[in-house]
Structure 1
Amino acid sequence: MRVTANLAVYGPADNQRVRDLFDDDRERLTLLVTRVKIYKTSEPRDKVLVPLALERHVKGAAQDLSPLKAHDANVRSLYVQMTAHLLTMSSGLALLSHVEDGSLRKLEDLPSWCPDYSVSVFSPPFGDMVSNWYDALPLREKSCCVDIATQTLTLEGHAVDKISRLGPSVLSASAKDFLEFCLTLNITYHNKQDRVEALWRTLIADHLSDVSPLPAGVSALFAAWLLHSVANSILGNNDTDGPPPHKDWSDWSCFDELRGSSAAATAIIPSTTELAAHTELMRARRVESKDGVPEAKELRGPHDAYQSSFMWVGGRILFVTASGSIGLAPPATKVGDQAWLVSGAKVPFILRPAEDGSHHKLVGEAYVHGYMHGEAVERMQNAQFQKVMLC
């Protein structure tokens, strides 16, 4: 079993892997660019020029060895040139995982496949090159061609499914919202997991354990998170006495409904009786220790262990595909968008058919439960991979 103990900004980063990437001439510039991207600068060109300067320093070259016309290009041209250069040079497609949600972009006329490097996004990409957590299409090599003249990126991929429904945002939804969403799913997920386990893993992009069924100690974190989240929503997140004991739990009936739907759900989902008992325990301990330490805070441990994993998800939203798969996607995702597996990419991507009928636009990377660790390879042995052009 692999359990993540420390969560770094861009993956459970292994120092040796970072050194290996930095020592690789194909990957070093991509590594530098993606690290510089998270920092704010007063000059947007610096997001590209600084990594180029570092690259020249490492190589000990007197001049820029890349084909970029960096010194006479405007910001947009510079960003497109850099992205095309990196995608062509790198062994994978990790750079596409750094394409931010459309609502965050400042340069609106960039091709959909080109990151807006002027945007300082601090959410860890699922497919960042340092992290080896996912490998949706193992052993399938990158197929990539960039046409600068038409601003088109051609990849090879397979359309897995179409998004049929959008769910709540992970950061803004409540525990009750998640369970009501879970009740709309098939009881048994397509990989034979119970829907509660599928949801549990999806909410944190499956970053606590890579084995199934969930180890008892790991699944207990989700139950503790539910208990504490509900208590906080009723009592408030501050460490004051809070309101009087909560009596009416009819609004929380989704807990009992989901709990009774399967044996796996019964083992994880607390009943409203358990919710009431935990909420009253928290309320009583807050009264006993008015400053909230340590009696009340000792209940937070398991809750916080699960809550911390939300950092991997950022502001992404839940979705359901036509075949019943669930996942996480950028907020700009719409019903009708498609989940694709792309040759050379570690994670799936959300693509949107363009109005011209022959191109697609990149919405962003995605987590699709049951597709992240090569599970689909056997099912896709006879699948037709096709060229897809991104504009």
Structure 2
Amino acid sequence: MDVPDCPYEKIGGRKNALWRTMIADFAGERKSPEGDWLLLETWYDRVGWQQDLPDLTSKTINETAVLTTGIKDMEVQMVAHYANLRATTTEYTDFVTNASVATIIKDSFTKGFQLPKKYGEYVRRIRKACARRALYVTSKGYIGLAPWNAREGDLVCIFKGGKTPFLLRLPPAGSVYQLVGETYVHGIMGGEAVAADASDNDWRVFNLR
């Protein structure tokens, strides 16, 4: 649920901002299709289908067969979760009845339903975007991915002439800022944070070292 003055109120809300942050999505025309949030919702594993994959090294043929069967069962649960999400989401329930929702889920098994191929692409994007990063929320409600060395109190800024945000840190009793690193902040990656009519008086000067 969005809080008052949520920066994402007019661009899809916090739920939309969260899944796009997890993949460090592109801004503008290159952004991922709206319906692909289902793939990220499946990856979140809110229903507990996902388990640690077993180690198949140094196993007998029988042991490997049993463990492999367990992996396939886990995949079936994941597909069922995705099928249920797809069948009950608004874009489908707008034109199907409650009775046919159950039919869609059933057909996902009888007709060999599988996850879209781009599910794997999104998992790779998540791992690349989130590696050695932490999810954070700014004081104004923006969601982002911080560098591994970020700390509470770091300042998000955009340098004049650029679009990519960075984190700056002011040491205790210091006047010179430290550059922490580049950061992803959903909603300002396309230069949205910089007003088109900004004058020189609207910019702040930082001394860096």
Scaled by the length of structure 2, the TM-score of the pair is: 0.61
Residues 216/199 of structure 1: CA separation in 2 closer, same or farther (3 Å cut)? closer
The corresponding residue for 1:370 is 187
The corresponding residue for 1:345 is 162
Residues 318/226 of structure 1: CA separation in 2 closer, same or farther (3 Å cut)? closer
SS of alignment partner, residue 322 of structure 1: coil
SS of alignment partner, residue 242 of structure 1: helix
Matched, 1:385 2:203: yes
Q: CA deviation at 1:194?
A: 1.5
Q: CA deviation at 1:228?
A: 9.6
User: Structure 2 stretches of 5 or more lacking a match?
Assistant: 55-66, 75-84, 92-101
Distance in 1 of aligned mates of 2:117 and 2:23: 17
Residues 217/385 of structure 1: CA separation in 2 closer, same or farther (3 Å cut)? same
Q: CA deviation at 1:320?
A: 0.8
Cα RMSD between the aligned structures?
Answer: 3.9
The corresponding residue for 1:158 is none
Distance in 2 of aligned mates of 1:347 and 1:380: 19
Matched, 1:232 2:50: yes
SS of alignment partner, residue 222 of structure 1: helix
User: Structure 1 stretches of 5 or more lacking a match?
Assistant: 1-182, 247-258, 260-265, 269-276, 286-294
Q: CA deviation at 1:300?
A: 6.9
> Are 2:142 and 2:185, in contact at CA under 8 Å, matched by a contact in 1?
yes
Deviation beyond 4 Å, 4+ runs, structure 1: 211-214, 227-230
The corresponding residue for 2:82 is none
> Are 2:165 and 2:185, in contact at CA under 8 Å, matched by a contact in 1?
yes
The corresponding residue for 2:177 is 360
Could you give the per-residue CA deviations for residues 168-226 of structure 1, whole angstroms, max 9, x where no partner exists?
Answer: xxxxxxxxxxxxxxx7x63884142221100011111114x745996344333323434
The corresponding residue for 2:124 is 308
Residues 381/307 of structure 1: CA separation in 2 closer, same or farther (3 Å cut)? same
Distance in 1 of aligned mates of 2:162 and 2:196: 18
Q: In structure 2, what residue type is equivalent to 1:318?
A: L
The corresponding residue for 2:36 is 218
SS of alignment partner, residue 387 of structure 1: coil
Q: CA deviation at 1:237?
A: 3.0
Distance in 2 of aligned mates of 1:355 and 1:267: 50
The corresponding residue for 1:30 is none
Aligned residues: 162
The corresponding residue for 1:203 is 22
Q: In structure 2, what residue type is equivalent to 1:202?
A: T
Could you give the per-residue CA deviations for residues 29-71 of structure 1, whole angstroms, max 9, x where no partner exists?
Answer: xxxxxxxxxxxxxxxxxxxxxxxxxxxxxxxxxxxxxxxxxxx
Q: In structure 2, what residue type is equivalent to 1:341?
A: I
Identity over aligned pairs, percent: 33
Distance in 2 of aligned mates of 1:189 and 1:376: 15
Could you give the per-residue CA deviations for residues 44-100 of structure 1, whole angstroms, max 9, x where no partner exists?
Answer: xxxxxxxxxxxxxxxxxxxxxxxxxxxxxxxxxxxxxxxxxxxxxxxxxxxxxxxxx
Larger RCO, structures 1/2 (Cα 8 Å, 6+ apart): 1
Residues 323/218 of structure 1: CA separation in 2 closer, same or farther (3 Å cut)? same
Q: CA deviation at 1:304?
A: 1.1
Scaled by the length of structure 1, the TM-score of the pair is: 0.35
1:241 pairs with 37, 48, 69, which one? 69
Residues 229/388 of structure 1: CA separation in 2 closer, same or farther (3 Å cut)? farther
Q: In structure 1, what residue type is equivalent to 2:49?
A: A
Residues 380/354 of structure 1: CA separation in 2 closer, same or farther (3 Å cut)? farther
Aligned pairs (5 A) from 1:37-52: none
Aligned pairs (5 A) from 1:90-129: none
